[in-house]
Amino acid sequence: MRLLLTVCVTTALVVTQPLTATAADRGPHGPVGGALLTGKPTVVAAGATPPAVQSSAYVVADVDTGDVLVAKAPHAKLRPASTLKTLTALVLLPRLKKTDRVIGTDEDAGIVGSKVGVSPGLKYTVDLLFEGMFLASGNDAVNALCEHDEGGVDGCIRRMNAKAKELGALDTHVTDPTGLDADGQLSSAYDLALFAQAGLERPDFAKYAATKYTNFPLATKGTYQVANQNKLLFTYDGALGVKTGYTTLARNTFVGAARRNGHTLVVTMLDSPHGITTDAATLLTWAFEHYDDLTPVGTLAKPTPPPKPAQADKPQAAGPLPTTRTVDTPVHPVNSVFAIPAWLWAAPAILLLALFLRRPRRRRH
């Protein structure tokens, strides 16, 4: 009997644990943006057959409507290389004053990867550093901008991860704002499309992304010309630029956009061996030509407003107690049987166990 009661109590305690976390993690409606947008290496399109390209994952979407027109493994988590700088820009642009002057450091100059030429002791405007970041993909410019902001590089990383969640970019995890192949640094073609959409809504982001040339100061005297690494700007009619990337592990990555016939389309590509500009142009041209025939296969997620900062306590006028309360975290519907408090389920079994396990008092003779 004692063994049976022990089993009953254990079962009651296990059953009463929350069962919604795992289900919520999977998501009730499939992948973000629609059920067709999976991480599988298959092309998803409706209305026309897209051309073959070499990238392992890509997305073509209308940034105005949010419609995803064609996709291949859009949620595959891959290394983004310098296309991650689109998210870096989204975080830094609203926080830094363009006319501020930043003094270059040894840390800036000694950073790994692509550089625009930030020299220790020289002064640069924030505006010029953003140009160096977008056009030359300068990791030195990124480091200088991050260090000019509160919290430095670590603060920027925290804000980038928070911004990704706000935008619905749940495939993205940031560990280095330059986009280098840091451990755990991942994104997806879908998330890059979200960053491009949010960026092109900002006039300053759009201006930097579409700038073809700038002049950057030399360490000694004079300047040199920097050309935008996004070749789409120079070869494709209606191109709006955005960002390219490359590392040994990520291979070629790409975010490009163009405007034709009243439509603004973005193309994002990850893990491409070569010819990425040509492939991007091919996909864009196909999407523009077949735009009216295409049926969207998904949508770009709408941003979630960031939580409001906590306000200092203020005396409030007395009034009736509220009858409802607001919950900041999402509430997932569950069967009402699991809404009963855990102690209420376990209480009867515990009481029975206590009753049967209690030693009887010794009778007096």
Per the annotation, binding residues for substrate are 243
Catalytic residue among 55, 114, 137, 188: 137
Give all strands (DSSP E) within 149-291, no chain letters: 213-217, 223-227, 239-247, 251-260, 263-272
Catalytic residue among 82, 114, 188, 272: 82
For CA atoms 271, 274, 280, 285, the dihedral sign is negative
CB 9 within 8 A of CB 350: yes
Give the SS3 label for residue 207.
Answer: helix
Catalytic annotation on 137? yes
CB 84 within 8 A of CB 78: no
Question: Burial level of 149, CB count in 10 A (0-12/13-18/19+)?
Answer: middle
Sequence-distant contacts of 330-336: CB under 8 A, at least 24 apart: 330/24, 332/20, 332/23, 332/24, 332/28, 334/19, 334/20
Catalytic annotation on 85? yes
What tokens were used for 188?
A: 């997806």
Catalytic annotation on 77? no
Catalytic residue among 85, 115, 163, 231: 85
**Binding site members:** 243
What tokens were used for 247?
A: 């590392």
* Residues with catalytic function: 82, 85, 137
